[in-house]
Chain A
Amino acid sequence: MSDSSGHSAHSVHEVHEHIVPLSTYVGVFVALMCLTVLTTGMAWVDMGRWNVVVALIIAVCKATLVVLFFMHVKYNKGLSRIVLIGAVFWLGIMITFTLSDELTRHWEINPQPWVGAIVPVVRHLLF
């Protein structure tokens, strides 16, 4: 708090923020609307278990657009970006560790085809 050199009495009250062009906002809006139509449209196609994967990929794309442009993360670097990455990382820890338990509880009773391929590899590596 001892040095404020570089801040004249005038610049103390100035905020230099990037103003997002109107065209960018409208473009993001149109993209979000198109992706909403796309995610609904894909629900009419039977892709088995891949339906939810496609739906989540589209949702992540939409969320990324909102975060980058509407929430200005593309233009604001620094701490707020670290907080966001930290939150998503911790969410990833929660999901990964919970599912790694939940989805592997019944391997011996109800083995999945892909488990049959992976288990010998893991055994070879570990033992």
Chain B
Amino acid sequence: MSDAAIVHGHGDNPTHFAHQFETLEQQHDAGRLGMWVFLATEILFFGGMFMGYTVYRSLHPAAFAIGSHLLDWKFGGTNTAVLICSSLTMALAIRSAQTGKKKGTIIAWLILTMLLGATFLFLKFRYEWYHDYIEHTVPGFGFHYRPEWGAHAPQVQMFMCFYFFMTGLHALHMIVGIGILLVLTWMAARGRFTSQYYAPLEISGLYWHFVDIVWIFLFPLLYLAGGLYSR
């Protein structure tokens, strides 16, 4: 066996160094590759929804314009800014581990990232989805056709289906992301991360940034579809 394997056997390696890898760097690269493969499946997972959206928007552009006017671009825009801030704080959490900062610094950035994620979800649930429920624009929960929609009404409902499924799946990813951040905070509090070992932070960061990218596409496609000039 290799020298590396012998080193493993002597127990002077950190506990986070799995024995099947020759070097910690190799382990880091393997973990990162695994997350990228997962993200590739996520791109195609969300891609199917974007594909459906594209086909139906090309068939019913007027109904999608009406539908987008049911959404409040101010909340969509604010949430875009909130998510971009959270991507920055996530990147800074990883950077503070890379540069060997105290664990308190890492924890502070992680908690800030979680708070921004929670702010996003709070705005979405409390001020957007709840508002939609009150206004009867949630498909399946007393969706009301409005007279001014005319013949477009069924397709307006179709737009709202896309809206809830796409933002719903996105929100689910946000909730999972906050769960991952909680675990990372716990690990950081136990002093698990050093300037040599921060792979869990970086890999979770990839996921968090991916969820941000999905929203970067959702915001213009859902909230700005009908343009703001015609409101």
Mutual binders A and B: yes
Tell me the A residues contacting B by CB distance below 8 Å.
1-4, 7, 9, 11-17, 19-20, 22, 25-26, 29, 32-33, 36, 39-40, 43-46, 51-52, 55-56, 58-59, 62-63, 66-67, 69-72, 76, 78-80, 83-84, 86-88, 90-91, 94-95, 98-99, 102-103
Interface residues of B in 172-208 (CB under 8 A from A): 196-197, 202, 205-206
Which of A13, A43, A69 makes the CB contact (< 8 A) with B220?
A43
Tell me the B residues contacting A by CB distance below 8 Å.
1-5, 7, 13-14, 17, 22-25, 28-29, 32-33, 36-37, 39-40, 43-44, 47-48, 50-51, 54-55, 58-59, 73, 77, 80-81, 84-85, 87-88, 90-92, 95, 98-99, 196-197, 202, 205-206, 209-210, 212-213, 216-217, 219-221, 224-225, 227-230
State how many angstroms separate the Cβ of A28 from the closest Cβ of chain B: 8
Complex CA gap A79/B88 in Å reads 25
- Give the 4 A-B residue pairs with the shortest CB-CB distance, closest first: A87-B40, A55-B220, A4-B2, A43-B224
State how many angstroms separate the Cβ of B150 from the closest Cβ of chain A: 21
Given A11-B23, A55-B221, A103-B58: A46 in contact with B44 (beta carbons within 8 A): no
In the complex the two chains form, is B3's CB within 8 Å of A4's CB?
Answer: yes
Please, could you name 14 A-B residue pairs with CB atoms under 8 Å apart, sorted by A? A9-B7, A19-B98, A58-B220, A59-B217, A66-B87, A66-B212, A70-B87, A71-B206, A72-B202, A87-B40, A95-B50, A98-B55, A99-B54, A102-B59
In the complex the two chains form, is A1's CB within 8 Å of B1's CB?
Answer: yes
Complex CA gap A20/B90 in Å reads 13
In the complex the two chains form, is B22's CB within 8 Å of A66's CB?
Answer: no
